[in-house]
Amino acid sequence: MILLLQLIVYLNLSKTPEVNLVTNFSTIKECKKKLMETHNRNISGGNNSSLLKDDINNFYLKITTDDKNVISYWFCKETIFFKNSSKS
């Protein structure tokens, strides 16, 4: 199971960053597709959006506001703890 995580950092505030679990995906390919859709939607909406790679070559998304007070990072990460609620 793969998670799409969103980390939001407020640069001008002293509070801790917010972390939002966006959704679960069965495969990394599905999660990357959602990452690309989010990137394209932000670019077409006039936002600052960049697709970058981390140190192990996984894509992540960085979105900044025009005033650069808020940065949002989107990551596709493998789920460490997962409980399947469906019955077999």
Spatial CB neighbours of 31, under 8 Å, sequence gap ≥ 6: 2, 3, 4, 25, 76
| Whether 26 contacts 35, CB under 8 Å | no
Helix (H) or strand (E) holding 69: none
- What are the pLDDT digits (tens) for 55-83? 888 889 999 887 767 889 999 888 776 55
- What are the pLDDT digits (tens) for 6-33? 888 877 766 777 888 778 888 889 999 9
Whole-prediction pTM: 0.74
